[in-house]
């Protein structure tokens, strides 16, 4: 998988590798990727050595350890023979002359131990925590009433508390302690470089020790084959007013510069996003700064304002002309028969209605907002009242021709007509006066419209009241939808309650067990007063289907031995034996180990981890 990944990238790509990738011996020895992967820069666990560990590894022999299944697998893989009495039919028996003493192999190479050294430190840290827990330093207990723990009564929480406080020196003199719950950050910075023979080699170019970074830049060989830091410019930096948009399927340095949308700006080069302007501001033409939005209102200079002014003035002039004609001929029978008093009031109200429309044009102010609504409302009511009274009078006149309806005309005399018009108009005046005193309109900026201009208009409190009712209805609808969703959830919950937690677990367990087979019981065991558990990916499990990402892979057996994890296992064994032979650390207490193989599969890891420390029969 990693090989395909490297080969699909162009040769000028500069890779930054994680710990697992940067120390992969398999990739370093792969000639096919030497040209592409040259110059890889990565981090790795700090390398170190363990005194006496190489001699321990080279002295291993399955004849001396007949119960060590891991060592038997390694012997069969390297020497192509089967040690011991029980052997594979496909392999010949070993002669006994096989040895690791003179063998050059990654398993016996202890010059740069990384993970194995961490395993070694982990065992020592656990041993020092147990030593502190069992010896109880600093406690003054009466004779026979010691509060110290015994190897048979150790609680995990007590071990964890003492583990957080460990501070010791390794046999090489290295100080080890925890910072909070983490180890001190110590890493090597490594570089993949070409060799004359073809394969790549791992070169140490720096290290990280806590917060200190030490880097030898001159020792780095980049992907270009030079010591000069490469410059990767797939796309030029985006100028202000634009933002970066990564190209799909391309490297991060390849992007397009997208102009900011209206109302958004970016005032720096290479901006990842555009920032929206405040409500009262808008972006300039270059989308680099927010400028105040221009006030917009219906002015007399605009075409619509000129047209409305012309219509209003024309209507007022025509109404005035008719009023003058009526006034000149007020004593004629025609004018008198037309109820001249109401006619004059009607013409006056019409003229005021035409002129009130002019107040709506121009920049709104506090007094114009208050005057325009009240003046137009009163003028309109006066006009409608005059029309209404004139209509009633006409109807009353026609009905008075009937013998039984002559008395109705006394209710439609001149005083009653003037009183009706005054009453209706007074009601409107009271309504407008109350409205202006309680919640008068005032100039407001309508920021809802997205643009470079903001509308200045008279804000009506009555509109806010109407919309408050509408919002209340929307809220009821949303609440109803919420209730429906809750009812649906309850139905689903009650409908599925018969399955129960046990049923769910059985279904999940059945699905899991139908896919994964049971791991082997291979392991490395040694009994002791306190047993330290270990779980390693010693064997890998190749799938029986190709990795074409179109179907699920199935795993049949745990095969294929990894050299470095085997080294990690024996680093743990070496540390345990070294501690058991120490007179200063855990005197009188024997450490044991239960080491199992997870085969790099999560279900097997869980099962093997659950069985660690419970004997050889692993029960989930």
Which residue is it, tokens 């140490």?
A: 204
**What are the contacts of 288-296 at 24+ separation with CB within 8 A?**
288/240, 288/241, 289/265, 290/265, 293/451, 293/452, 293/453, 293/454, 294/452, 294/453, 294/454, 295/363, 295/445, 295/453, 295/454, 295/456, 296/453, 296/454, 296/455, 296/456
pLDDT tens digits, 516-536: 344 445 678 888 888 888 888
Q: For position 495, what pLDDT does the model report?
A: 37
Q: For position 619, what pLDDT does the model report?
A: 29
DSSP result, 340-390 = HHHHHHHHHHHHHHHHHGGGGSSS--HHHHHHHHHHHHHHHHHHHHHHHHH
Least confident of 59-68, 291-300, 374-383, 470-479: 470-479
**What are the contacts of 66-72 at 24+ separation with CB within 8 A?**
67/525, 68/524, 69/522, 69/523, 69/524, 70/522, 70/524, 70/538, 70/566, 70/569, 70/597
> Sorting pLDDT into bands at 50, 70 and 90, what band is 488?
very low
- Residue 274's alpha-carbon distances to 265, 271, 292, 453, 549, in angstroms, are 5, 7, 18, 20, 38
Question: Rounded distance, CA 598 to CA 565, Å?
Answer: 11
Over the range 185-195, which residues count as b (16 or more CB within 10 Å of their CB) and which as e? eebbbbbbbbe
Question: Rounded distance, CA 367 to CA 436, Å?
Answer: 11
Q: Name 279's Cβ contacts closer than 8 Å, sequence gap at least 6.
A: 447
Question: Rounded distance, CA 559 to CA 76, Å?
Answer: 12
Average pLDDT over residues 53-80: 89
Helix (H, G, I), strand (E, B) or coil at 243: strand
Nearest to 206 by CA among 44, 16, 25: 44
Nearest to 425 by CA among 341, 316, 349: 349
Nearest to 453 by CA among 275, 294, 321, 265: 294
> Sorting pLDDT into bands at 50, 70 and 90, what band is 141?
very low
Average pLDDT over residues 418-440: 83
Rg (the chain; Cα; Å): 47
DSSP result, 11-34 = TT---EE-HHHHT-HHHHT-GGGH
Q: For position 123, what pLDDT does the model report?
A: 92
Residue predicted with more confidence, 60 or 327: 60
Over the range 382-421, which residues count as b (16 or more CB within 10 Å of their CB) and which as e? bbbbbeebbeebeeeeeeeeeeeeeeeeeebeeeebeebb
Percent of the residues in the chain that have a pLDDT greater than 70, as a whole number: 75
Helix (H, G, I), strand (E, B) or coil at 42: strand
Nearest to 542 by CA among 593, 599, 597, 495: 599
Beta-carbon count within 10 A of 349 CB: 23
Nearest to 87 by CA among 107, 101, 60, 66: 66
In the predicted model, what is the mean pLDDT of the chain? Answer: 75
pLDDT tens digits, 586-607: 888 899 999 988 877 766 666 6
Average pLDDT over residues 416-420: 78
**Structural domains of the chain ordered from first start:** 1-48+185-219 (3.40.50.2300), 242-296 (2.10.50), 303-450 (no CATH)
Question: Rounded distance, CA 427 to CA 378, Å?
Answer: 9
Which residue is it, tokens 């594979």?
A: 88
């Amino acid at each position: 998988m990693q090989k395909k990944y490297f080969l699909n990238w162009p040769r000028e790509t500069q890779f930054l590798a994680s710990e697992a990738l940067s120390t992969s011996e398999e990739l370093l020895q792969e000639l096919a990727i030497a040209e592409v992967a040259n110059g890889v820069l990565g981090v790795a666990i700090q390398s170190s050595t363990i005194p006496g560990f190489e001699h321990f590894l080279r002295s291993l022999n399955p004849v001396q350890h007949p119960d060590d299944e891991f060592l038997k697998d390694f012997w069969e893989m390297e020497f192509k023979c089967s040690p011991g009495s029980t052997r594979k039919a496909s392999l010949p028996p070993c002669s006994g002359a096989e040895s690791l003493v003179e063998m050059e192999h990654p398993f016996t190479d202890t010059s740069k131990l990384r993970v194995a050294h961490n395993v070694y430190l982990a065992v020592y840290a656990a041993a020092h925590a147990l030593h502190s827990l069992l010896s109880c330093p600093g406690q003054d207990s009466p004779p026979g009433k010691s509060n110290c723990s015994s190897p048979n009564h150790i609680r995990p929480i007590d071990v964890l508390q003492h583990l957080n406080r460990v501070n010791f020196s390794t046999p090489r003199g290295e100080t080890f302690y925890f910072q909070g719950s983490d180890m001190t950050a110590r890493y090597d910075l490594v570089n993949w470089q070409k060799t004359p023979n073809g394969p790549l080699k791992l070169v140490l170019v720096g290290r990280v020790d806590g917060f200190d970074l030490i880097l030898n830049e001159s020792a780095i060989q980049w992907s270009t084959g030079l010591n000069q830091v490469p410059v990767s410019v797939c796309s030029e930096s985006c100028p202000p007013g634009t933002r970066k948009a990564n190209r799909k399927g391309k490297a991060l340095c390849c992007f397009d510069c997208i102009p900011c949308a209206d109302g958004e700006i970016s005032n720096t080069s290479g901006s990842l996003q555009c920032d929206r302007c405040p409500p009262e501001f808008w972006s300039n033409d270059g989308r680099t700064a927010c400028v105040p939005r221009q006030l917009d209102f219906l002015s007399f200079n605009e075409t619509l304002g000129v047209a409305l002014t012309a219509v209003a003035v024309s209507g007022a002039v025509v109404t005035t002309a008719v009023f003058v004609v009526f006034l000149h001929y007020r004593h004629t029978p025609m004018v008198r028969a037309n109820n001249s008093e109401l006619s004059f009031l009607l013409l006056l109200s019409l003229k005021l209605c035409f002129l009130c429309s002019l107040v709506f044009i121009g920049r709104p102010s506090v007094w114009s907002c208050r005057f325009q609504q009240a003046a137009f409302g009163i003028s309109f009511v006066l006009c409608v009242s005059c029309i209404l009274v004139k209509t009633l009078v006409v109807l009353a006149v026609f009905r008075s021709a009937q013998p039984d309806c002559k008395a109705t005309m006394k209710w439609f005399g001149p005083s009653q007509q003037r009183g009706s018009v005054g009453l209706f108009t007074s009601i409107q005046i009271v309504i407008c006066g109350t409205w202006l005193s309680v919640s008068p309109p005032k100039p407001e900026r309508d920021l809802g419209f997205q643009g470079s201009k903001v509308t200045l208009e008279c804000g009506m409190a009555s509109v806010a009241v109407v919309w408050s009712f509408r919002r209340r209805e929307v809220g009821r609808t949303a609440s109803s939808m919420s209730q429906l969703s809750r009812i649906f959830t309850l139905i689903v919950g009650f409908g599925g309650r018969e399955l129960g937690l046990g049923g769910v677990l059985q279904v999940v367990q059945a699905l899991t067990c139908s896919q994964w087979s049971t791991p082997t019981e291979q392991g490395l065991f040694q009994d002791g007063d306190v047993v330290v558990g270990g779980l390693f990916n010693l064997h890998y499990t190749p799938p029986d289907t190709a990795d074409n990402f179109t179907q699920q892979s199935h795993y049949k057996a745990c095969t294929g031995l990894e050299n470095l994890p085997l080294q990690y296992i024996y680093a743990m064994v070496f540390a345990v034996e070294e501690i058991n032979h120490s007179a200063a650390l855990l005197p009188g207490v024997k450490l044991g180990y239960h080491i199992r193989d997870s085969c790099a599969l999560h279900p097997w890891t869980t099962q093997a981890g659950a069985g660690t420390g419970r004997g050889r029969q692993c029960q989930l």
